[in-house]
Amino acid sequence: MTKLRLGVLASGTGSNLQSILDACAQGRIPAQVAVVISNLTSAKALDRAREAGVRAILLPHQLSPSREAYDEQLVSVLREHEVELVCLAGFMRLITPVLLRAFENRILNIHPALLPSFPGLHAVRQALKAGVKISGCTVHVVDEGTDTGPILVQAAVPVLEGDDEESLAARILAQEHRCYPWALRLWAEGRVALEGRRVRIATARGDPTRQILSPALQGEQP
Ligand code: GAR
């Protein structure tokens, strides 16, 4: 089976990148990371790529005259590496129609909230401020809006008493590391079909009795 060629864009620690690299290396996804690109020299994601023997490319955005010009550079590197699916993994830059058109419906993103709630920056902080009892993470197809594209996979994470941004973000991040490889596996196995805003997933069986209560019932009756 030929492996789906991924291009991962990351600006930070790269823990989501690592979860993808590990899942590919362990054969859990029929895919390979063809290239990792970062806009920041400091991005640990670049080291993680090199350690995994994957091409790591630094493209500093400060050198580009415009966002569009930057995205043209991204597109040319991604094409050069024959990337079929682009994965934004903590890539902290707004992308333009230049990249969107070149990889139409072939760009995924992970976001630390249950979209469509809390798009944009500081999603975990936004969720805490709004007082929700359940938050989580979302893998979605990227469209022209900010975190507005069709949803592929979500995981719910209860907000606990005493949570602060750091503790909640850490528990959400642990679920991100499950969701992104899972979304990529569904995609790479050809089980994903886009129908307008809805993403149909072949053979995904839900458990109709499964639910998350937050706060949890601990032996009590409601
Ligand atoms: C992740 O929590 C990801 O969801 C978030 O940045 C973090 C990157 O962590 N992305 C966004 O907030 C995008 N709007 P990582 O570098 O360890 O993968």
- Mutating to test ligand 1, I would choose from 111, 167, 179, 184 the residue with most ligand atoms within 8 A of its C-beta, which is 111
Q: Is the CB of 112 under 6 A from ligand 1?
A: yes
Say which residue the tokens 């994903």 belong to: 192
Q: Does ligand 1 lie within 6 Å of residue 149's CB atom?
A: no
User: What pLDDT is recorded for position 175?
Assistant: 98
How far, in Å, is the centroid of ligand 1 from the Cα of 89?
A: 6
Measured in Å, residue 220 CA sits from the centre of ligand 1 at 36
Spatial CB neighbours of 32, under 8 Å, sequence gap ≥ 6 = 3, 4, 5, 6, 24
> What are the 10-residue block averages of pLDDT along the chain, 222 residues in total?
95 98 98 98 97 98 94 98 98 96 98 98 98 98 97 98 98 98 97 96 84 88 79
Domains and CATH numbers, the chain: 1-104 (3.40.50.170), 109-204 (3.40.50.170)
